[in-house]
A and B are shown apart, each in its own frame.
Chain A
Amino acid sequence: MAYIAGVGNTRYGKVEGSSTLSLASEAAHLAMADAGLGVKDIDGVLTGYSTTLPHIMLATVIAERMGIRPVYAHAMQAGGATGVAMVMLAKLLVDSGQCRAVLALAGENRASGQSRDQSIQTLAQAGHSDFEVPYGATIPAYYGLLAARYMHQFGVTGADLAELAVLMRRHAGTHPDAHLRTPVTLDDVMASKPIALPLRLLDCCPVSDGGVAVVVTREPTGAARVRIRGAGQAHLHQHISCMRDWADCGAAQAAGRAFAEAGMTTKDVDYLAVYDSFTITLAMLLEETGFAPRGGAGAMARDGRFGVAGDLPLNTHGGLLSFGHCGVGGGLAHLVEAQRQLAGKAGARQVKKATTAFIHGDGGVMSSHVSMLLERM
């Protein structure tokens, strides 16, 4: 069995004077303290990539800085899905007996460590360098193409998508570490400036500094007995021009594998942690994984179903759209919040019933999918 024994995060937003290593190690110390473990107890280290510190051996750099001498360590790259992918590998490492306690951590000073243009150009490289990037494409442009087609095909409106942005901002307002906490209305979202139409500024997540860490152990280490029940992946394409079926981008396949391993169905889930780089990302993933009917995610948000008091609370930390996006740590923050909800440690955000959680990370342009199911023992 694999447990999420401890979690930690730094404040998100602009953290002046921070670096990839300072943010990741601060979060790691918080996660180890939460798990009741010290550096001597950690025998596995997994990290993601950092655009502001593109080192060839990031995991051992971080391990050395923290004084950890792991028996297994390396960095991983699956875009925004990297966070959940790291925790899935950590599960495999403890399940197989390779490790007893794996530290999965990520940090990046993405807001303060580079210019906006640098950030936009770096991220655009998720597109094909020869057959997409030369057209002046950006990450919002790839998702703008997804949004236009998805809205056309499934009858989703701009107002449906805006509901999700309003909801994420409302949730972030209750989390002291969130990047964007000022409430926004439906009109604010729909009147915000155009970025890559149909997507507008408030349909897009911000660029943030931040660090997140998780400790995965073979045995529970304290009161927080949150277990990983299943995980699964799917990778059907990298580039949007090679994505064939807008109704099957790989999310359902990844979720199906996780549900099969866990022996569960969507009906057994009572908390959702779903990747939301853009409002369209969240709508597509909720609908393809079966938690909302096609074209129905916005209406469910409007009806309060995804709120803290709803029957399917979703991203109660505010998601990428408002808690913030610092790269790999952005996707890992969803899992941190899910663990806190299941451990009963979500404070003012605590939902009534949280025994099981579904987590989904997406990298690239709906390219890499990793799903996971957690359960409180």
Chain B
Amino acid sequence: MSATPTTFPAGDDIARAWWNGVADGRIGYQVCADCGAVQFYPRSHCTACGSARCETRASKGAGAIFSITVVHRPPSEALRAHAPYAIALVDLDEGFRMMAHADPGCAIGDRVTAAFIPFGDRVVPRFARA
């Protein structure tokens, strides 16, 4: 995968850096250097203790499906070619939960690992049964 910076709109440098990591096949998450709390999504301060020393680490990309929905009615014409696609909440082994794509056949409780696929204006993590 390429390390070219993303061109899609993203809220701030923290979000852009996270998506650039995904484009390189890496799911970043934060660990507080002061209290050890794990947090996702990435932000400038620890929500547990307020520290600004949030270290970014790369997840191994393994976890379990917490919930999953299969979208048949996408939000835009541009995404219609992808439908139906599955959106999941995935609990990663490092102790955080994130939204991502998943194989539509996945079920709640399934062990999954991340792959990285093009979707819309970017590459997104997509989980499949381990």
Pick the contact of A149 from B66, B72, B84, B122 — CB < 8 Å?
A: B66
Q: Which residues of chain B come closer than 8 Å to A124, judged between CB atoms? A: 75
Known pairs A129-B11, A131-B99; A136 contacts B71 (CB<8 A): yes
Pick the contact of A144 from B11, B71, B119 — CB < 8 Å?
A: B71
Pick the contact of B75 from A120, A128, A152 — CB < 8 Å?
A: A120
Size of the A side of the interface (Cβ < 8 Å), in residues, is 32
Known pairs A130-B11, A135-B100; A241 contacts B71 (CB<8 A): no
Q: Which residues of chain A come closer than 8 Å to B8, judged between CB atoms? A: 134
Chain B contact-residue range equals 35 or more
Chain A min CB distance to B125 (Å): 9
Chain B min CB distance to A291 (Å): 24
* Interface residues as binary, A124-155 with B (CB distance below 8 Å gives 1, 0 otherwise): 10001111101111101100111111001000
Pick the contact of B15 from A130, A138, A194 — CB < 8 Å?
A: A130
- A331 interface hit (Cβ, 8 Å): no
Q: Which residues of chain A come closer than 8 Å to B15, judged between CB atoms? A: 130-131
Beta-carbon contact of B122 and A121 below 8 Å: no
Q: Which residue of A lies closest to B9 (CB)?
A: A129
Interface residue stretch chosen among A46-54, A195-203, A212-220? A195-203
- B95 interface hit (Cβ, 8 Å): no
- A117 interface hit (Cβ, 8 Å): yes
- A193 interface hit (Cβ, 8 Å): yes
Beta-carbon contact of A144 and B89 below 8 Å: no
> Complex formed: what's the CA distance from A240 to B15 in Å?
18
> Complex formed: what's the CA distance from A298 to B87 in Å?
26
Known pairs A117-B77, A149-B67; A135 contacts B41 (CB<8 A): no
- B36 interface hit (Cβ, 8 Å): no
Known pairs A131-B98, A131-B99, A241-B97; A136 contacts B74 (CB<8 A): yes
* Interface residues as binary, B58-81 with A (CB distance below 8 Å gives 1, 0 otherwise): 000000001111111111110100
- B101 interface hit (Cβ, 8 Å): yes
- B48 interface hit (Cβ, 8 Å): no
> Complex formed: what's the CA distance from A134 to B41 in Å?
14
Beta-carbon contact of A130 and B124 below 8 Å: no
Beta-carbon contact of B71 and A141 below 8 Å: yes
Q: Which residue of A lies closest to B16 (CB)?
A: A130
> Complex formed: what's the CA distance from A147 to B84 in Å?
18
Q: Pick 10 A–B contacts, CB within 8 A, sort by A.
A: A134-B119, A136-B71, A137-B99, A141-B71, A144-B69, A145-B67, A148-B67, A149-B66, A149-B89, A199-B69
Closest 7 CB pairs of A and B: A144-B69, A149-B67, A130-B15, A197-B70, A194-B72, A131-B41, A145-B67
Q: Which residues of A come within 8 Å of B, CB atoms?
A: 117, 120-121, 124, 128-132, 134-138, 140-141, 144-149, 152, 193-199, 240-241
